[in-house]
Amino acid sequence: MMETLFSIALAELVLGGGGRTFSIGDISLRMLLFAATLGASVIGMISSTGRRDGLATANLLVLGFLISLLPGLLVDASWGTPIRIIVAGVQPLLFWLTAPFFALALQDVRIVQRGARILLFGGVVVAALTAFLTIGLYAGFVGFGSLYAWANETEEMFFRGTTNFFYKGHFFVGVALVFCVVMTPRWWKSMAAILMLSLALSLTRGLYVAVVIALALSFLSQRRHIYIIAAVSVAVVIAVFYSQFIIDLIFDPTRASSSQIRSRDITYFISIFDYQTLLFGDGFGKLLNGRTSVENSYLWLLWRFGFIGLSFTIIPLFMSVRYYFSIPRDNPLHTLASAYFFGMIMLYILTAFNPFINNSIGIMFLLCSLFSLRRLSRTANQPIMLTGDIL
């Protein structure tokens, strides 16, 4: 049951974007799966059968999450912030509570491999669909009005004019590209072409940067020198486009303000913060630069919860580094571990540009990758381990 629920939850995460793609009224499939994973976690923890490796680590993460919330919540209590505002702010973060579920589900390397297949092939499906819709908008055989009406209802797409959009599920297109290029399964070049086309049509500079850096680091790790040169070349081109706003000027001049808004958010925070903000945060009852949310998740975490909240979110990255580098390079599982690890790197880079790590998309992918790396690390250092194709 745990393994089946894992597959369903991960597939819905990849295909469902922010979580409102599959919903009936106010009830989304992700909400139901979230409740199911919590229930499965409780059953798994009280059951006398089954492996529990990693459960202590997961419970510590849950405890750390609850502790990281305290400073901001205490500030809200002192300021009398309305409960509805606090609940709305905390709700996307509750997916940290699924850590025990991922620990219990990922007890076998075969499940880690299954997760990799879902992330890769699910991302390819999202890429194909989003590329088809974008090309359809350009060509006119997809009606903007009907697509906008559906997207406005689900809040899963952000439109840039009448021909371009960003789907929250584009995050998993980037993840799939990292998995595809790192693991090089059969037909990987064809799949990579579809993934890159979708990313290019999304016109999302932060995602470009995160994917290119993650891939460049993976090439360095795998000693694929020709690809390193290609990745660096692409990175230089992106840097030029990013710094000079050429993409904005050509495709959508109104977007030139997006980078300026991000800069003003940081400048405003620097101008108003004090030691209390750094230590405890300002909770959910205070605006930053007149905004309830900002794109830079690191700034958001520091603003809401102070240093404790920011530190807690970064801890899984250091845990992943430890797990990854404990796997010998010549081990058959190293390539699969590389896909998960550099997918994590992509997430942490992207977090500086877009808010993913503070909602279900980033949190669940982070937990899946973290406990996958933990399982691969422990298996790789055992005398007997699973062999065969990584996919």
pLDDT tens per residue across span 282-323: 888 887 777 777 888 898 898 889 899 999 999 999 999 999
Cβ-Cβ contacts under 8 Å for 168 (sequence gap 6 or more): 17, 18, 156, 157, 361
Q: Classify residue 238: in a domain, yes or no.
A: no
**DSSP states of 291-326 as a string?**
BS--S-HHHHHHHHHHHHHHHHHHHHHHHHHHHHHT
Q: Classify residue 230: in a domain, yes or no.
A: no
**Distance between the two ends of the chain, CA-based, in angstroms?**
22
Cα–Cα distance for residue pair 195/362, rounded to 1 Å = 19
Q: How many Cβ atoms from other residues are within 10 Å of residue 282's Cβ?
A: 25
The parent domain of residue 323 ranges over: 2-225+262-380
Question: Can you give the pLDDT at residue 390?
Answer: 57
Question: Can you give the pLDDT at residue 200?
Answer: 87
Q: Classify residue 97: in a domain, yes or no.
A: yes
Cα–Cα distance for residue pair 176/121, rounded to 1 Å = 7
User: How many residues does the structure list for the chain?
Assistant: 391
Q: Classify residue 246: in a domain, yes or no.
A: no
Angle at 311 between CA 78 and CA 366, to 5 degrees: 115
Q: Cα dihedral angle (129, 131, 132, 133), rounded to 10 degrees? A: 90
- Quote the number of domains for the chain: 1
Question: Can you give the pLDDT at residue 244?
Answer: 45
**53-76 burial: b if 16+ Cβ within 10 Å, else e:** ebbeebeebeebbeebbebbbebb
**C-alpha atoms less than 13 angstroms from C-alpha of 253 in its C-beta half-sphere:** 1
Residue 275 has pLDDT above 60, yes or no: yes
Q: Classify residue 193: in a domain, yes or no.
A: yes
What integer is the mean pLDDT of 89-113? 95
Q: Classify residue 387: in a domain, yes or no.
A: no
* Confidence band, pLDDT 50/70/90 cuts, at residue 185: very high
What integer is the mean pLDDT of 370-389? 79
Cα–Cα distance for residue pair 238/260, rounded to 1 Å = 18
Distance of CA 176 to the CA centre of its chain: 12
* Confidence band, pLDDT 50/70/90 cuts, at residue 158: confident
Q: CB of 100 within 8 A of CB of 59?
A: yes
Q: CB of 391 within 8 A of CB of 185?
A: yes
Question: Can you give the pLDDT at residue 240?
Answer: 54
Q: What is the DSSP letter of 24?
A: E
Cα–Cα distance for residue pair 381/64, rounded to 1 Å = 28
Residue 218 has pLDDT above 50, yes or no: yes
Question: Can you give the pLDDT at residue 59?
Answer: 95
Q: Classify residue 71: in a domain, yes or no.
A: yes
Cβ-Cβ contacts under 8 Å for 371 (sequence gap 6 or more): 54, 57, 58, 99, 102, 103, 105, 106
Residue 186 has pLDDT above 80, yes or no: yes
User: Which residue in 361, 382, 371 sits closest to 93, CA to CA?
Assistant: 361
Q: Classify residue 195: in a domain, yes or no.
A: yes
Residue 228 has pLDDT above 70, yes or no: no
3 state DSSP class of 271: helix
